[in-house]
């Protein structure tokens, strides 16, 4: 199965291009696009918690204990990010939290996880998800900005998220060397 991007998992409504003129052409639903992008990141982070928790349980071999603990470190950090992202979403949703619907979050998470399901190596799977998230953060920042929702707090959160997941890529890549 081909890997999918976060945009694909979110569906066509969330599509955005890097051309500012085209972004402003989405003015009718650009505000929804900002929120949807954040919900997409939340679903990606939640998919990551499932993935890393499972990796924590199923790794084996003579490097088992180090890898078992590595995945603990990863899922614990992502769990905190899930909470911070969800609370920001509630903050910007102006009382409408329908986007946090569990099943719609699970649908996006499932699409992302299904796209890596053919990969056996738990570290390669993690790297793919991390790549999807990093791409998704860049896209989400553009969409949130286009929606006029990029407060300094949200920008900081997205930048910190990017920084922390570049760190994850480093940790996983070192393990694969
Ligand atoms: Fe455990």
pLDDT tens sequence across 29-63: 666 788 989 999 999 999 999 999 999 999 999 99
Topology of domain 29-175, CATH: Ferritin (1.20.1260)
Residue 120 has pLDDT above 70, yes or no: yes
Residue 16 has pLDDT above 50, yes or no: no
What's the confidence (pLDDT) of residue 94? 79
Query: For residue 167, how far is its CA from the centre of ligand 1 (angstroms)?
Result: 22
Determine the average pLDDT of the residues in 104-129.
Answer: 96
The tokens describing 174, both together, are: 């070192």
Query: For residue 67, how far is its CA from the centre of ligand 1 (angstroms)?
Result: 12
Residue 152 has pLDDT above 70, yes or no: yes
Asked whether the beta carbons of 44 and 108 are under 8 A apart, the reply is yes
Going by C-alpha positions, the residue among 52, 41, 34, 65 that lies closest to residue 160 is 41
Query: For residue 54, how far is its CA from the centre of ligand 1 (angstroms)?
Result: 10
What's the confidence (pLDDT) of residue 15? 43
Query: For residue 83, how far is its CA from the centre of ligand 1 (angstroms)?
Result: 20
What's the confidence (pLDDT) of residue 164? 98
The kind and range of the H/E element at 17 are none
Residue partners of 151: CB distance under 8 A and separation at least 6: none
């Amino acid at each position: 199965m081909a890997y999918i991007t976060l945009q694909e998992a979110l569906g066509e409504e969330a599509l955005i291009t890097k051309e500012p003129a085209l972004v402003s052409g989405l003015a009718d639903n650009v505000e929804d696009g900002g929120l949807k992008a954040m919900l997409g990141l939340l679903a990606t982070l939640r998919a990551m918690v499932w993935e890393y928790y499972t990796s924590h349980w199923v790794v084996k071999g003579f490097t088992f204990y180090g890898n078992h603990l590595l995945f603990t470190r990863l899922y614990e950090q992502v769990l905190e990010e899930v909470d911070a992202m969800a609370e920001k979403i509630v903050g910007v949703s102006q009382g409408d939290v329908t986007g946090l619907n569990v099943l719609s979050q699970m649908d996006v998470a499932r699409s992302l996880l299904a796209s890596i399901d053919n990969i056996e190596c738990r570290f390669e799977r993690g790297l793919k998800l991390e790549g999807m998230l990093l791409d998704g953060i860049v896209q989400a920042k553009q969409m949130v900005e286009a929606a006029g929702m990029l407060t300094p707090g949200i920008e900081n959160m997205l930048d910190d998220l990017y920084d922390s997941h570049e760190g994850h890529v480093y940790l996983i890549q070192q393990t694969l060397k």
